[in-house]
Chain A
Amino acid sequence: MGKIFKFHNDLDTDQIIASQYLLLPTIEEMKVHTFESLDPEFPQKAVPGDFVVGGENFGCGSSREQAPAVLKALGIQAVVAKSFARIFYRNAINIGLPVIVCKDLPDAVESGDEMELSLTDGVAKAGGKEFVCTKLPEYMQQILSQGGLIASLNKEVQ
């Protein structure tokens, strides 16, 4: 169970984490600036287990992996959107942040709503309703279940 933070269509990576913070030494120093232009209180309000919900084309824009990384560092359980921009999508999976495509859920929920997500069933529950999500291709599920690309790389080495 986590609360929802809902954002608009075409939510770009500059809004998730602005350029001026990308060269800070660590993700930990960056994460306090997450969603600064839209909701400066977000890093304080979000608690581990919460969800980010977007519309179409979530995470469009730059390839900055800092975008999914700050969300993960803040403990965001998963991002659910109608569709994702591809680099964000790939980056999220690579670092082990679940990104879930669900066409119906975003319009049915609001910020502050409670939500539950089962990754294995591909089902989200919010406002007493169930939403079926698009399942990840198996290859990506594998990366995710290993905890991201680096974890899989370290496994290969062994």
Chain B
Amino acid sequence: MGMTIAEKIIARAAGVKAVRAGDIHTVNLDRMMSNDGTTHLTVDMYYNKLKNPRIADVKKMVFIVDHNVPSDSAKTAGSQKKMRDFAREHGIDFWEGKGVCHQIMMEHYVCPGELIFGADSHTCTYGALGAFGTGVGCTDLLYGMVTGTSWVLVPETVKFNLTGSLPEGVYPRDLMLTIIGQIGANGVNYQVMEFTGEGAKTLSVNDRMVLCNLAVEAGAKTAIFEADEIALEYLRERGREPKAVFKSDEDAVYAKEYTFDLSEVVPVAAKPDFVDAVVPAREVCGVHIDEAFLGSCNNGRIDELRVGAAIVKGRKVAEHVRFLVVPASQEVYRQAMEEGLIQIFMESGAIVMNPNCSVCWGSCQGVIGENEVLISTGTRNFKGRAGHPSSKVYLGSAATVAASAVKGEICTADML
């Protein structure tokens, strides 16, 4: 019987010929990523709970400080120091302030065919390069670090057949929010979203990252694209080699199949407080906003900065709005400087911040206050996600966010 890409990656990692959904396997992990959200706890457990603390292979480990960077309090700094000291002592690759963890991982580590654990739910992003990346907690991460292995319940795969191409002014983020709105916040719980079809071929690696990144918002264990020529080119540009390039077999088994016609997608927004509360963006136009956020591991890359800059160019951010622009990595930031995008944002009155998780994570920079409203390209709009429990978060595309920042209320780019 045939296997899907996800099943083939797990089979390879488990050292078996074939796996099927529902099996539990012990797998060798190709890589593990941990950020400042939980690493201090991992380090504490490493020193205090283990009888025989050891690291199976330091080369598999990557530590990234991206959530509260630069730190906002002495306690945060203490937690980060623990992480930094550990990385230094053990020779673990360490990144601080260089970008959001998933962006760093994509730029420097992820290879097709790999099985990667990340102590962050958006680790599913790596499927954009045909890798199996999934989010785990710090205990799983610790177990993986010590043994180099973990246990995996082989998930079912759901096929998302994409057709057509996105219309002008409609972005991969609109597509993914549309999908989540349709299938629901647990629509693919414990399953893999496999994106395929002619429409998938029209998407760049950046675009694919946008889709895969949000898969967890529909409950998915991960999302994945076949590592085609587009993915391999991305890899070559960065001097990396695939671990293995897998395709799903003709007779692979899917739990379900969906088809989405890209040409029918319209700009959408997710209303507070749920990612699947998706409506056409026009329906929320006119909502007064206090802050707009362009950034995150979902939507802080050069593509989105270009879209945002084109909209604010020659315009001013509304007086009462704080427009946060946060490149996803130093590499993205640097390129945006070269392309003149940063200058455009700064001249428009935006607040351009160093690459970090910012208000998408709501605990460090750009926190919103009581009853305030944020329109965001971040990953989530949960109650209180960006600050005060009474505050509200709307999710929209980079275009919608930039246009709203200028107008001072939610609007789509064509309404400016």
Contacts and interface: CB of A to CB of B under 8 A. Distances in A.
Interface of A: 10, 12, 14-15, 18-20, 22-27, 36-38, 56-57, 60-66, 68-69, 83, 85-87, 90-91, 94-95, 137, 139, 148-150, 153-154, 157-158
A87 B137 CA distance: 7
A153 B147 contact: yes
A61 B121 contact: yes
Contact of A153 (B44, B123, B146, B384): B146
27 contacts: A10-B274, A14-B382, A18-B384, A19-B362, A22-B38, A23-B36, A23-B363, A24-B75, A25-B40, A27-B41, A57-B219, A60-B186, A60-B219, A61-B380, A61-B382, A62-B380, A63-B136, A69-B41, A85-B219, A86-B219, A91-B137, A94-B143, A95-B137, A137-B153, A150-B49, A154-B52, A157-B52
A38 B383 CA distance: 9
Contacts of B186: 10, 56-57, 60, 83, 85
Interface string B374-404: 0000001011110001000000000000000
B147 A149 contact: no
Contacts, number: 146
B383 A14 contact: yes
A139 B139 contact: no
B45 to A, nearest CB: 6
B220 to A, nearest CB: 8
Nearest to A22: B37
A90 B142 contact: no
Contacts of A25: 40, 75, 78-79
B67 interface: yes
Interface string B16-51: 000000001000000000001110110011000111
Given A56-B186, A91-B140, A150-B49, A64 B37 contact: yes
A150 B143 contact: yes
Contacts of B147: 153
A63 B45 contact: no
Contacts of B67: 19, 22-23
A57 B68 CA distance: 28
B381 to A, nearest CB: 10
A68 to B, nearest CB: 8
